[in-house]
Structure 1
Amino acid sequence: MNRIYIVEDEPLIADTIRMALEKEGYEICGEADNAADALFGIADTQPDLVLLDITLDGEATGIQLARQIQKLPGIPFIFLTSLADDDTIAQVMATHAAGYLVKPFNEKTLKANIELALHRFKEKQPKAEIVVSTDAFFVKEKSGLTRIDTHSIQFFEAFDNYAYLVTSDKKILLPHTLKSVEEKLPSGFLRVHRSYIVNLSLIESLQENILVIGRHHIPVGKSFRETLMKHLPTL
């Protein structure tokens, strides 16, 4: 489930976008109507993609906010705007935005642009291999091996034919399917959904079919719930 952050200062438009995306299966991890709140929220939630209006409440524009987002690790953004003049387009191009949608737009156009932006971002990411030890993963990157302590890994998430390794401050794309990652994992990790494998020791709560690890809300598949419950000690 891809997580989207919405930055839009028109409440009606923000509500329309949120409902449209939730209907398509996206998770809305945050919303803001100004650059200051948005930058804090984006840094905190680490979304997979930001939908960013150019004209915002407050002094800073969406383009100024985009320049700040670029300093965060690997968060693509799509501009939403009613502006299409040459000067605005030139400023947008300078931010290396993942997309540019002129209002009004329909749900199909919005979804298509989001999926295309996520795909392009994935293709640009350096692929990392993993080598497993009992207490750490060593991620093979161009510069060599990077140690990721096993206890710090919150979960793995499927992404097409790849998988993300997620910690509290990292999201690393691996050139493996979730199934092949699962085969390499030591005990303590469990698949709870067709798209998620979690670190059992980091589960904070389970409410119906959603478990919480840090700031992440992870769905639990019906066919996986019984096995999960067997691994959770209860009083």
Structure 2
Amino acid sequence: MNNKKTRVLIVEDEKNLALNVKEILELFNYEVIGIFPTAQEVIEHLENNKTLPDIILMDILLEGDLDGIDLTYILRDKYDIPIVFVTAYSDKGILDRISQVLYEGYLLKPFTSERLTSSIYLAIKEFQSNADKKKNKPTLKIRDKGYIVPVPEEEIMFLKADGLYTKVFTEGRSYMMRDILKDIGLNLSSNKFLRVHKSYLINIDKVHSINSKEICIGKYIIPIRRGLYKDLKNMLSIN
């Protein structure tokens, strides 16, 4: 029988609230392995300790230059740890920023002990489920705002050349990479991505419709280079 306690790291700059959360979690048989008010302290703790938390409760507004969302970008590049955001704010600006980073839960202050423990339980389950689904699935590593974001290939719709840069379009947002389209294409699955034009590389799984001159992917219209239409129809199994 496995009696291992779930290890929780609390990132919170309100000391009394953090201690209250710690007390609640320990009553429910969780192990709180640390409470930190700043991003830098969290980074140093994780770098200096071999035992990682099973989950992080991440306040969004923290002391110092980095807030909880900035910190999450950094941690995603180094660690596989589920994260639940904890905040008293639900304005659109905060939600828009949260939507651009991977996370497993969102808990609005004030909350009950039941909401807290349920959020942790569900976040860990979702993280494990997503880890199983994404296992061995290829990603494109994109540097965004100074951090590396692994974007699964299946989320990419197409890439567009922009001089010495390349813009990567996903269904949720777009990214700008400081590499030319040809070089980025070498890092993508050749059986999934096709150069249909000198300026465009598409994910063939995202194609909605085509004609002899254009491809429709979502709301975007992408030109086809001359002579490719027949081969593209065969790849897409279109009669």
Choose which of 80, 93, 101 in structure 1 pairs with 2:99.
93
Alignment correspondent of 1:42: 46
Deviation at 1:68?
A: 0.7
Query: Runs of 5+ in structure 2 lacking a partner?
Result: 138-239
Secondary structure at 2:132 match in 1: coil
Q: Distance in 2 between matches of 1:95 and 1:142?
A: 21
Alignment correspondent of 1:161: none
Deviation at 1:126?
A: 3.3
> Which segments of structure 1 move beyond 3 Å, counting only runs of 4 or more?
none
Q: Distance in 1 between matches of 2:33 and 2:81?
A: 13
Alignment correspondent of 1:231: none
Q: Distance in 2 between matches of 1:89 and 1:30?
A: 27
Q: Distance in 1 between matches of 2:40 and 2:86?
A: 18
Q: Distance in 2 between matches of 1:77 and 1:89?
A: 15
RMSD, aligned α-carbons: 1.7
Choose which of 13, 18, 28 in structure 2 pairs with 1:14.
18
Choose which of 9, 32, 39 in structure 2 pairs with 1:28.
32
TM-score w.r.t. structure 2 length? 0.52
- 1:195-210 to structure 2, matched below 5 A, reads none
Q: Distance in 1 between matches of 2:77 and 2:52?
A: 12
Q: Distance in 2 between matches of 1:17 and 1:50?
A: 12
- 1:146-168 superposed Cα distances (whole Å, 9 cap, x missing partner): xxxxxxxxxxxxxxxxxxxxxxx
Alignment correspondent of 2:77: 71
Indicate if the aligned counterparts of 1:5 and 1:42 stay in contact, CA closer than 8 A.
no
Deviation at 1:41?
A: 1.7
Alignment correspondent of 1:111: 117
- 1:174-185 to structure 2, matched below 5 A, reads none
Identical-residue share of aligned pairs (%): 32
Q: Distance in 1 between matches of 2:13 and 2:115?
A: 21
Task: Confirm whether residue 122 of structure 1 aligns to residue 122 of structure 2.
Answer: no
Alignment correspondent of 1:84: 90
Secondary structure at 2:97 match in 1: helix
Q: Distance in 1 between matches of 2:127 and 2:99?
A: 16
Which structure has the larger Rg? 2
Deviation at 1:9?
A: 0.3
Secondary structure at 1:70 match in 2: helix
Aligned length, in residue pairs: 130
